[in-house]
């Protein structure tokens, strides 16, 4: 059987646009001889639709889009993700062939952890589904269904399948793709069945979907893999009869009971015509061709950040972005990502020196702008800061200069950037990283101002790694080496360094990873060798900064536990662990 996975980039709520994407991909696949085409989970609505699912009209419109699509599919079989409204709402997959919907499978495992809230919206399905497609036994699953060995995967194994068809919208975090693919290989091998896995690609608010669809044979070996972070049409020929032979040679499944009431749904479909490469609508991994190499960790994270910025800006209709360039590494990295995502003509840098800004910072910002080929505007902020301080002189009288005056500078910069955004329509990209956001080393309404924060879930340690990798990858100083080498500083007072207020990042970031992402208590961190006073200081900063993070812009999820959709802590909270 020739199988295709249509790895498409959908937009939540754009039913008409998503329908066109799916229709074109199915046509391109059948033009190349694919008799079974998979699309991502909720391909017609986009994923995740969130509270749109609470509107009955939205689910009804999803069904109308499905019926319109089905009328156009007259060759082969397509499995299409959509929202089904039948008294309740279901995350469903429709089997479409011969111009009509012939079967509907309802997702049985509804994830309700991390970034997922599916139990808030959907009713779970309660039965497996096996299709009979030209004599081949094909089992249906949707994303979370396949992650557990039982009961869904076990029931399908008991059904002696030839192929498992899994449609998915599995969001990215670093290294997740490897773990997911290993799991899929295990499911295929345990079931002695081939497996086709079609994942969504693209950015949706904080989430990035990495694609990396894959087709695996009955022994668990990868036959073909789609690239990460790109729309793609993955096609492979799968010898389904080999699965039956393996089950006879290795009769492990004989010990499993056969399901008593699992009757295959016979799918009536017209055969596809002769392959016609001219029908391509997406980049295609050639049948039998080599799969693209997997990226290194830095390239994988870079690809996620670039796609997340490109889709957030593009899908929300912004003409471009504006970024405050301080001469520091965070703003430099943000600008480099934005240029790769949007092109230099859609990225505008703004340097806003104060009386505390060093000449090196101004020079590094100019060097970066020249390296990236972007426009750089220079707006000195000293006159504006002086005006603010003059207005506040009476109410500040008798009190020493402190963080209030420092933060005025950051807030002036935020105001200027937002004014440029209002005037030109470009979105402000905030440049703060996860280390700073964790401990509140940021100014609310100042450097936190913006519409999107690409580095919100990227630690300072990773900021340095990515900057150095980007230079090596390009073979030149995309980001000035002087920017990478200089000690980090906010330059809000004379001779300021981040280390004046924070532990060194080599100490801080491992503590943050353990506390924020792994939920380890203070005692466990001390057992790992971190000083008790440093641990308790850092944890206290993290807990106190929750109110700031709630008011910051969204950013791209890159770790297993990002702030916001993943980690949800109360702002008002007096509990202290350990």
- If asked whether residues 262 and 337 sit together in one domain, one would say no
Active site residues: 41, 107, 143
Q: What's the sign of the alpha-carbon dihedral 548, 549, 550, 553?
A: positive
pLDDT at position 201, please?
97
State pTM to two decimals: 0.93
Residue that finishes a domain, picked among 294, 321, 342: 294
State the CATH number of the domain containing residue 93.
3.60.110.10
Give 347's contacts (C-beta < 8 A, 6+ positions apart). 320, 321, 323, 335, 338, 339, 372, 374, 375
Backbone φ, ψ for residue 254 (5° rounding): -60, -25
State CA 163 to chain mean position distance.
28
539 within 8 A of 286, measured Cβ to Cβ: no
Tell how strand 321-324 and strand 427-428 pair up.
parallel
Q: Is residue 437 part of a domain?
A: yes
- If asked whether residues 287 and 424 sit together in one domain, one would say no
| 37 closest CA partner among 7, 3, 68, 8 | 3
- If asked whether residues 187 and 306 sit together in one domain, one would say no
- If asked whether residues 161 and 200 sit together in one domain, one would say yes
Q: Is residue 214 part of a domain?
A: yes
- If asked whether residues 327 and 417 sit together in one domain, one would say yes
Q: Is residue 559 part of a domain?
A: no
State CA 313 to chain mean position distance.
14
| 310 closest CA partner among 229, 174, 433, 203 | 203
- If asked whether residues 60 and 138 sit together in one domain, one would say yes
- If asked whether residues 290 and 367 sit together in one domain, one would say no
Give 413's contacts (C-beta < 8 A, 6+ positions apart). 324, 352, 381, 446, 447
21 vs 14: CA distance, rounded Å: 11
- If asked whether residues 243 and 316 sit together in one domain, one would say no
What residue numbers bound the domain in which 546 lies? 298-550
Q: Which helix (H) or strand (E) holds 133?
A: strand 130-133
Q: Is residue 568 part of a domain?
A: no
- If asked whether residues 80 and 151 sit together in one domain, one would say yes
Residue that finishes a domain, picked among 274, 294, 314: 294
pLDDT at position 260, please?
52
- If asked whether residues 350 and 309 sit together in one domain, one would say yes
The structural domain count of the chain equals 2
| 13 closest CA partner among 69, 67, 55, 71 | 55
Q: Look at residue 497 and give its three-state secondary structure.
A: coil
- If asked whether residues 269 and 323 sit together in one domain, one would say no
pLDDT at position 109, please?
94
564 within 8 A of 457, measured Cβ to Cβ: no
CB atoms within 10 A of CB 370: 11
pLDDT at position 412, please?
95
Q: Is residue 194 part of a domain?
A: yes
- If asked whether residues 262 and 336 sit together in one domain, one would say no
| 267 closest CA partner among 163, 375, 407, 148 | 163
Q: Is residue 566 part of a domain?
A: no
183 within 8 A of 147, measured Cβ to Cβ: yes
Q: Is residue 150 part of a domain?
A: yes
State the CATH number of the domain containing residue 428.
3.40.50.620
**Tens of each residue's pLDDT in the chain, 578 residues:** 999 999 999 999 999 999 999 999 999 999 999 999 999 999 999 999 999 999 999 999 999 999 999 999 999 999 999 999 988 999 999 999 999 999 999 999 999 988 999 999 999 999 999 999 998 999 999 999 999 988 888 888 888 889 999 999 999 999 999 999 999 999 999 888 999 999 999 999 999 999 999 999 999 999 999 999 999 999 999 998 877 777 667 666 666 666 556 788 888 888 887 565 444 456 554 454 457 889 999 999 999 999 999 999 999 999 999 999 999 999 999 999 999 999 999 999 999 998 888 888 899 999 999 999 999 999 999 999 999 999 999 999 999 999 898 899 999 999 999 999 999 999 999 999 999 999 999 999 999 999 999 999 999 999 999 999 999 999 999 999 999 998 887 767 787 787 778 899 999 999 999 999 999 999 999 999 999 999 999 999 999 999 999 999 999 999 999 998 889 888 888 888 77
63 within 8 A of 85, measured Cβ to Cβ: yes
Q: Is residue 109 part of a domain?
A: yes
């Amino acid at each position: 059987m020739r199988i295709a996975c249509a790895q498409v980039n959908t937009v939540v709520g754009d039913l008409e646009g998503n329908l066109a994407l799916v229709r074109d991909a199915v046509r391109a696949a059948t033009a190349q001889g694919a008799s079974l085409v998979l699309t991502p989970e909720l391909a017609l609505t986009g994923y995740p639709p969130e509270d749109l699912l609470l509107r009955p009209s939205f689910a009804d419109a999803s069904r109308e889009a499905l019926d319109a699509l089905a009328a156009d599919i007259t060759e082969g079989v397509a499995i299409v993700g959509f929202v089904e409204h039948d008294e309740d709402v279901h995350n469903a997959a429709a089997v479409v062939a011969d111009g009509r919907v012939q079967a509907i499978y309802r997702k049985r495992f509804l994830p309700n952890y991390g970034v997922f809230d599916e139990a808030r919206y959907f009713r779970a399905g309660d039965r497996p589904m096996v299709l009979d497609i030209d004599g081949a036994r094909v089992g249906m699953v949707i994303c979370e269904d396949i992650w557990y060995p039982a009961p869904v995967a076990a029931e399908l194994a008991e059904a002696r399948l030839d192929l498992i068809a899994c449609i998915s919208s599995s969001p990215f975090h670093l290294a997740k793709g490897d773990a997911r693919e290993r799991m899929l290989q295990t499911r295929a091998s345990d079931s002695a069945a081939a497996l086709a896995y079609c994942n969504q690609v693209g950015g949706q608010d904080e989430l990035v979907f990495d694609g990396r669809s894959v087709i695996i044979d009955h022994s668990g070996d990868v036959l073909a893999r789609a690239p990460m972070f790109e729309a793609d049409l993955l096609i492979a020929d799968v010898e389904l009869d080999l699965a039956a032979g393996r089950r006879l040679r290795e009769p492990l499944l004989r010990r499993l009971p056969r399901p008593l009431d699992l009757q295959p749904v016979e799918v009536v479909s017209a055969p596809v015509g002769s392959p016609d490469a001219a029908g391509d609508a997406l980049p295609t991994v050639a049948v039998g061709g080599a799969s693209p190499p997997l990226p290194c960790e830095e390239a994988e994270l870079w690809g996620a950040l670039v796609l997340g910025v490109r889709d957030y800006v593009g899908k929300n209709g912004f003409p471009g972005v504006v970024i405050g360039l301080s001469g520091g590494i965070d703003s430099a990295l943000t600008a480099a990502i934005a240029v790769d995502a949007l092109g230099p003509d859609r990225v505008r840098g703004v340097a806003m020196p104060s009386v505390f800004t060093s000449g090196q910072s101004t020079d590094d910002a100019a060097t970066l702008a020249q390296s990236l080929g972007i426009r750089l505007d220079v707006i000195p902020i000293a006159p504006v800061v002086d005006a603010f301080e003059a207005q506040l002189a009476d109410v500040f009288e008798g009190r020493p200069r402190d963080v209030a005056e420092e933060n005025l500078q950051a807030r002036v910069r935020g105001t200027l950037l937002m004014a440029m955004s209002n005037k030109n329509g470009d979105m402000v990209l905030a440049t703060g990283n996860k280390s700073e956001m964790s401990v509140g080393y940021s100014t609310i309404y100042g450097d936190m101002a913006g519409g999107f924060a690409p580095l919100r879930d990227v630690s300072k340690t990773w900021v340095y790694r990515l900057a150095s990798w980007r230079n090596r990858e390009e073979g030149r100083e995309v980001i000035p080496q002087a920017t990478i080498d200089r000690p980090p500083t906010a330059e809000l007072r004379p001779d300021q360094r981040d280390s004046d207020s924070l532990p060194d990042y080599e100490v801080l970031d491992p503590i943050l990873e353990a506390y924020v992402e792994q939920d380890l208590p203070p005692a466990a961190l001390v057992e790992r060798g971190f000083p008790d006073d440093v641990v308790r200081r850092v944890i206290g900063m993290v807990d106190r900064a929750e109110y700031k993070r709630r008011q910051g812009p969204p950013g791209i999820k890159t770790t297993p536990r990002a702030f916001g959709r993943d980690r949800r802590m109360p702002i008002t909270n007096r509990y202290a662990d350990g």
